[in-house]
Amino acid sequence: MHMPDFRFTSVINPEEFEVRLKNVPQSPGVYIWKDLSAGVLYVGKSKSLRDRMRSYFNIAQLSGKNRRMVAKIADFEIITTNSELEALLLEMNLIKKHRPRYNVLLKDDRSYPYIKVTVQESWPRILTTRTVLNDGARYFGPYAQAGSVRRMLGELNRLFAFRPPFDCGDDRFRRHQRMGKPCLYYDMRRCLGPCVPALVDHRE
């Protein structure tokens, strides 16, 4: 691995900074780059924190945007997680909280994705939306990256087998109700099959 180059940063004590980087674990988590005044420059995630963080100090391989950010780096903070999914969730929440300059800026909350849980429906769905309505559903967000939200919901669906977030709209749900047969997601154990009443009990 290349040796980190701190010449183009705002790091005051490079030797101490290098020791801290060496002690960053090779585990999933979130890293937070900070400037001289402890302001948050950037929030990122990685399945291997140490490797990802050291990569920022190979100046020759950085884009112009990243070079400008690295020039301001003076400090960092890390938060380890038990999985990449936890790191993804934490990253999204920290970006929303701090709105770092070098992350995607939430200039207009209405144009960014939310997670919507339709708790007002008999068989609730979990899906993404860019519009917040006063419809009884619960909304979480906004989040900066739509792709990250979709990946997160996909992983959660694999773990908890709720109605598939992108492939189980009301039309499809009613069609399988009429057929009395669940879709392939039931066979894949990605859904409990609420479209067929005999397969699952409805509880308030």
pTM higher than 0.95, yes or no? no
Compute φ and ψ for 113, nearest 5 degrees: -75, 145
Alpha helices, H only, 43-179: 49-55, 64-70, 84-98, 146-160, 170-179
Give me the long-range contacts of 181-187 (CB less than 8 A, separation at least 24).
none
Helix 146-160, helix 84-98: angle, nearest 10: 140
What's the pLDDT at 189?
A: 83
Compute φ and ψ for 138, nearest 5 degrees: -105, 135
Give the CA distances from residue 15 to residues 20, 86, 167, in Å, rounded to whole numbers and listed in that order: 9, 31, 52
CATH 3.40.1440.10 residue spans of the chain? 14-98
pLDDT per residue rounded down to tens, the chain (204 residues) = 567 889 899 999 999 999 999 999 999 999 999 999 999 999 999 999 999 999 999 888 888 788 899 999 999 999 999 988 888 889 888 988 888 988 864 444 446 788 899 888 887 888 888 888 889 999 887 776 788 888 888 888 888 888 888 788 788 888 888 888 888 888 888 888 888 877 876 655
Can you say whether the dihedral through the CA atoms of 121, 152, 195, 204 is positive or negative?
negative
Q: Which tokens go with 107?
A: 């200039």
Contact (Cβ atoms closer than 8 angstroms) between residue 49 and residue 27:
yes
Q: Which tokens go with 160?
A: 């908890």
Q: Which of 158, 167, 162, 89 is nearest to 121 (CA)?
A: 162
Virtual torsion, Cα 148, 154, 158, 162, nearest 10 deg: 120
Contact (Cβ atoms closer than 8 angstroms) between residue 46 and residue 28:
yes
What's the pLDDT at 184?
A: 83
Q: Which of 37, 14, 27, 17 is nearest to 101 (CA)?
A: 37
Q: Which tokens go with 44?
A: 């990122």
* CA atoms of 144 and 86, how far apart (whole Å): 17
CATH placement of domain 14-98: 3.40.1440.10
Q: Which tokens go with 150?
A: 């979709």
